[in-house]
A = this chain, B = another copy of it.
Amino acid sequence: VRVVVPFDASRPKTRLADTLDPAERSALADAMLHDVLAALGETGVAPEVLSTDPIDVSVPVTVDERPLTVAVNHVLSEASQPVGIVMADLALVTPAALDRLFDTDGDVVLVPGRSGGTNAIVSRHPDFRVDYHGVSIRDHRENASLVGASVAEVDSHRLSTDIDTRDDLAEVLLHGAGRAAEWVEERFSVEVEGGRVGVTRRADHPSDQ
Footprint of B on A, CB under 8 Å? 94, 96-97, 100, 112, 114-117, 134-135, 137-138, 155-161, 167, 170-171, 174-175, 190, 192, 196-197
A190 to chain B, nearest CB (A): 6
Contact A116 B170 (CB under 8 A): yes
Q: How far is the CA of A161 from the CA of B134 in the complex (A)?
A: 21
Q: How far is the CA of A190 from the CA of B157 in the complex (A)?
A: 21
Given B157, B158, B197, which contacts A135 in the complex, CB threshold below 8 Å? B197
- In the complex, what residues of B have CB within 8 A of residue A171's CB? 114-115
Interface of A is mostly: helix
Most buried by B among A138, A157, A190: A157
Can you spell out 8 A-B residue pairs with CB atoms less than 8 angstroms apart?
A: A97-B155, A114-B114, A114-B161, A114-B171, A116-B197, A135-B192, A155-B156, A157-B157
Given B97, B134, B157, B192, which contacts A134 in the complex, CB threshold below 8 Å? B192
Chain B residue with Cβ nearest A115 = B197
A103 to chain B, nearest CB (A): 14
- In the complex, what residues of B have CB within 8 A of residue A161's CB? 114
Q: How far is the CA of A147 from the CA of B178 in the complex (A)?
A: 28
A142 to chain B, nearest CB (A): 13
Q: A117-B197, A134-B197 are in contact. List 13 more A-B contacts (CB 8 A).
A: A96-B155, A112-B174, A114-B157, A114-B171, A115-B167, A115-B171, A115-B196, A116-B174, A116-B192, A137-B174, A138-B190, A155-B158, A157-B157
